[in-house]
């Protein structure tokens, strides 16, 4: 029987025989799960941040859409304003004083004033150009005019009014810009040597 016991001892696993199992370099199972949990938490945070960014972007686009919805219509109405201004400017003084035409002139003036009020209610404002320095963001220079009185680069003539809608350019002002007068034939010319 002692031979049987000895043969059975050989079959007993090493752990039962008193020996420790071999240690591997694997992470404990909780460390792997914690790393995976941290990774998933980061992904959730990124997804929440992206959702917040999309929400903000959509809100800004919504505000811009409502603020600038009338841009196309306002741009079309500028030609109406221009024509009313031309009609008023073309009336000679004697026709303005004529009692028969006074109601017509008053009607045109009231229409122009009401159009201006509607523009103001919707954030459409006229660009001040005369006497201002040329601003390429608001003015479009059409010609240069010699001027001894105005500093070069100053707007001295407005051919067509410019308009803004809130903080955006609706139409640039078409302007004439001052330039230094050309020297006359008899004038001395300073030449640096």
CA distance 193 to 111: 63
Distant-in-sequence, close-in-space partners of 126: CB < 8 Å, separation ≥ 6? 161, 162, 163
pLDDT score recorded for residue 11 = 54
Helix 71-90 × helix 102-121 angle, to 10° = 150
Quick one: pLDDT at residue 27?
Answer: 65
Please state, in angstroms and rounded to a whole number, the distance separating the CA atoms of residues 36 and 30: 10
- pTM value is 0.61
CATH numbers and ranges of domains, the chain: 71-179 (2.30.22.10)
- Give the pLDDT score at 190: 56
- Written as six digits, the tokens of 70 are 């009338």
Q: Measured between alpha carbons, how far is 19 from 34 in angstroms, rounded to an integer?
A: 31
- Give me the residues paired with residue 126 across strands: 163
pLDDT at 191: 54
Using DSSP's 3-state secondary structure scheme, residue 103 falls into helix
Asked if 140 contacts 106 with a C-beta cutoff of 8 angstroms, the reply is: no
The pLDDT of residue 115 is 92
Residue 20: predicted pLDDT: 52
pLDDT of amino acid 62: 86
Mean pLDDT for back-to-back runs of 10 residues, the chain (193 residues): 52 51 63 89 93 92 80 88 89 83 88 92 90 91 88 90 90 91 67 52
Query: Quick one: pLDDT at residue 69?
Result: 78
Answer positive or negative: Cα dihedral of 62, 65, 66, 67: positive
E-strand ranges in the chain read 124-126, 139-146, 155-160, 163-165, 168-171, 173-179
Q: What's the pLDDT at 193?
A: 46
């Amino acid at each position: 029987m002692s031979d049987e016991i000895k043969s059975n001892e050989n079959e007993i696993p090493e752990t039962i025989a008193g020996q420790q199992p071999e240690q591997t370099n694997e992470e404990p199972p909780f460390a792997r799960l914690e790393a995976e949990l941290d990774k998933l938490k980061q992904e959730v945070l990124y997804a929440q941040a992206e959702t917040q960014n999309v929400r903000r972007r959509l809100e800004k686009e919504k505000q811009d859409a409502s603020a600038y919805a009338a841009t196309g219509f306002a741009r079309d109405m500028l030609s109406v304003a221009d024509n009313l201004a031309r009609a008023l400017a073309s009336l000679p003084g004697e026709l303005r004083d004529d009692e028969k035409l006074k109601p017509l002139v008053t009607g045109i003036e009231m229409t122009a004033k009401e159009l201006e009020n509607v523009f103001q209610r919707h954030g459409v404002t006229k660009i001040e150009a005369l006497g201002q320095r040329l601003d390429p963001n608001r003015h479009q220079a059409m010609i240069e005019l010699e001027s001894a009185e105005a500093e070069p680069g100053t707007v001295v003539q407005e051919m067509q009014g410019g308009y803004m809608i809130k903080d955006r350019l609706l139409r640039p002002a078409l302007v004439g810009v001052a330039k230094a007068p050309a020297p006359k034939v008899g004038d001395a010319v300073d030449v640096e040597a």
